[in-house]
Amino acid sequence: MSILNIENLSFSFGDKTIFKNMSLRLLKGEHAGLVGVNGAGKTTLFNILTEKLICDEGTFTKASSCKIGYLKQNSDINENLTIKEVLREAYRNLYELEEKILLISNKLATGDVDDYDKLINKLGHLQDRLDSSEFYNIEKHIETMCKGLGITALGMDTPFKNLSGGQKTKVMLAKLLLEAPDILLLDEPTNYLDKEHIEWLSKYLHDYENAFVVISHDTSFLNNITNVIFNLEFSSIKRYMGNYDNFLKLQDEERKRYIAEYTAQQKEIQKLQNFIDKNKVRASTAKMAKGRQKALDKIEKLEKPKIISPKPSFSFNFKRTSASLVMISSSLAIGYSYPLIKNLDLTLKRGEKIAITGCNGIGKSTFLKTIMGVIPPIDGDIKLGDYLYPAYFEQQVHGSDHTPLEEVWDCFPKKSQSEIRAALGRCGIKNEHMNQKLKTLSGGEQSKVRLCKLTLTPTNWLLLDEPTNHLDAISKAELKKALIDFKGTLLLVCHEVDFYKDLATQVWNMEELLV
């Protein structure tokens, strides 16, 4: 049974066509992954499904009683509420039902009522609804969810406003899962989760009774949770049964088959055309040429295979060899108003490539910011070696009103416009996106612009904070290759084991360093 239908949907942004005559259906209980290269329109589709955007043409319908839940950041939340109070908001309708029961019970207790029997019947009906719900298991459900997503460690009485951006996203994800809508729309839900919490979420979604559509570039995650893949490509969408690996196999077979059919048809067309051209002017063969022309006209010509967007190519600009010692910390304590981690005694040597892991909120980003001098250490000190040229990729940077061209050119004003365009193109930014405002681009495209600036920066020490967030699978593979080839030193904060396991010479698990 279909619970969501899109028919002949078209949507444009300015002069760019995002979707053209696109159709899609989601079945009840279906677990779908929505994939496509950065900028294909995945988040735009979610915004249409949640009615944030209105399509230019076509229809979007869903079952009348169907509730859609969308993972949104910090929306409609009273930031003065504690974490537990925010999560209880998922059951607001049940708490309101309990209040109605208490009001009726209080009226009945006074005995001052006009229609006693009517109120008794209403009370019984409301109580039956409450009993059949999960009302009496609310605290248990919240506790289980918080343990699974690593929220308990943040302190359930912590005000929402005191959380980091990643921590707020985790709480919002928990609230949405507790609401259990008929259709879940999840946009990169693993970006701020650690390995064990991703595993927990994978199992939870695998067993989820209702339908969901997930945007994710974590292929292992998609393989574990999906039974159908929607692939956005060339302004349209196609449905593939099975998980992500099966989609890749089917898509590859489909493309090879189509290219073979197109090639064979082109040979046949050329053969017929050659015969017609040679024989149409000769009286003895003109009749045969006309017959071949009729055959040629009847052929339903296949479209030329569309060119897949060229994959990005990252290459970092290595500048001279640094001293043997890159960094050493002594009794280092990092944090803000209070230490997140104390007594960090770490040594980083030239050429080492370190993956920094650990649960969210433990201080991985804070550690990089302390090294870069963005925030001062609370105690202890950091000594940096000689001849260092660091380049820093910050995790959370909001898109600006600058265009990609302006953003990069401002940092490298001595380069020509053609050089900047070429650099952006190598990093996977299409020509039509170079003059769009950064804030209108997808998260993946914004990350590529920031990576472009790093590739142009002379460096021998890369400090990267979750650079894979929002990047599609192809871009991640190319970034990994560039980091393996990089001759300098690397500090990499990353939660994707598959990304860093063949890259890192050593792993610093911040949880093991916590005192």
pTM across the whole model: 0.75
pLDDT tens-digit map of 267-304? 999 999 999 999 988 888 888 999 999 999 999 998 88
DSSP-assigned beta bridge partners for residue 35: 231
Cβ-proximal residues to 122 (8 Å cutoff; 6+ apart), any chain: 104
- Give residue 514's pLDDT: 60
Encode pLDDT of 198-223 as tens digits. Answer: 999 999 999 999 999 999 988 889 99
In the numeric block, which tokens belong to residue 353? 């490539």
Nearest CA among 215, 214, 193 for reference residue 205: 214
Residues 385, 370: contact at Cβ < 8 Å? Answer: no
- Strand, coil or helix: what is 388? coil
Complete DSSP assignment for 62-109:
E-TT--EEE--SSTT--TTSBHHHHHHGGGHHHHHHHHHHHHHHHHHH
328 has a pLDDT exceeding 90: yes
Q: Is the dihedral of CA 247, 250, 253, 254 positive or negative?
A: negative
Collect all residues with Cβ–Cβ distance below 8 Å to 90 and sequence separation of at least 6: 175, 176, 178, 179
What pLDDT does residue 469 have?
Answer: 86
- Quick one: pLDDT band at residue 193, thresholds 50, 70, 90? confident
Cβ neighbours for 199, distance < 8 A, ≥ 6 positions apart: none
Instruction: State the DSSP H helix or E strand holding residue 57, giving kind and residue range, or none if neither.
Output: strand 57-62
In this predicted structure, what is the pLDDT of residue 74? 42
CA 436 from chain center: how many Å?
21
Name the region of 506 (left: φ>0; alpha: ψ -120 to 50; beta: rest).
beta
Question: pLDDT exceeding 90 applies to what percent of the chain?
Answer: 59
Beta strands in 226-282 (DSSP E): 228-233, 236-241
Amino acid 102 reads L
**Separation of alpha carbons 293 and 287, rounded Å:** 10
Does the pLDDT of residue 147 top 90, yes or no? yes
Instruction: Give the C-alpha separation, 28 to 312, whole Å.
Output: 37
Q: How confident is the model at residue 96 (pLDDT cuts 50, 70, 90)?
A: confident
* Residue bearing tokens 């009348």: 64
Q: For all residues of the chain together, what is the average pLDDT? A: 90
Phi and psi (nearest 5°) for 227?
A: -125, 5
Could you tell me if 250 and 242 are in contact, meaning their C-beta atoms sit under 8 angstroms apart? yes
pLDDT for position 399: 67
| 80-90 average pLDDT score | 93
- List the one residue out of 63, 87, 74 whose CA is nearest residue 182: 63
Q: Which pLDDT value is given to residue 151? A: 93
E-strand ranges in 419-514 read: 461-465, 489-493, 506-509
Q: What is the pLDDT of residue 348?
A: 97
* Closest to 392 measured CA to CA, from 285, 464, 315: 464
Question: For residues 133 and 6, which has the higher predicted lDDT (pLDDT)?
Answer: 6
* Strand order across the beta sheet in which 489-493 lies: 390-393, 461-465, 489-493, 353-357, 506-509
What is the pLDDT confidence band of residue 73, given thresholds at 50, 70 and 90?
A: very low
Tokens of 446: 């914004």
Return phi, psi of residue 163, to 5°. Answer: -85, 155
Closest by CA to 24, choosing from 227, 181, 222, 232, is: 232
Look at strands 347-349 and 325-335 and give their pairing.
Answer: antiparallel
Query: Does residue 467 carry a pLDDT above 60?
Result: yes
Q: Which CATH superfamily is domain 325-513 in?
A: P-loop containing nucleotide triphosphate hydrolases (3.40.50.300)
Phi-psi map region of 356: left, alpha, beta (phi>0 left; psi -120 to 50 alpha): beta
Report how far residue 197's alpha carbon sits from residue 151's, in angstroms, rounded to the nearest whole number: 10
Task: Outline where 280-320 has alpha helix (H).
Answer: 286-298
pLDDT computed for residue 121 by the predictor: 86
Coil, strand or helix at 113: coil
Distance of CA 481 to the CA centre of its chain: 21
Mean pLDDT in residue range 323-343: 89
**Amino acid making up residue 265:** Q
Query: Among the listed ranges 79-93, 246-260, 387-401, which one has the minimum average pLDDT value?
Result: 387-401
The kind and range of the H/E element at 498 are: helix 497-500
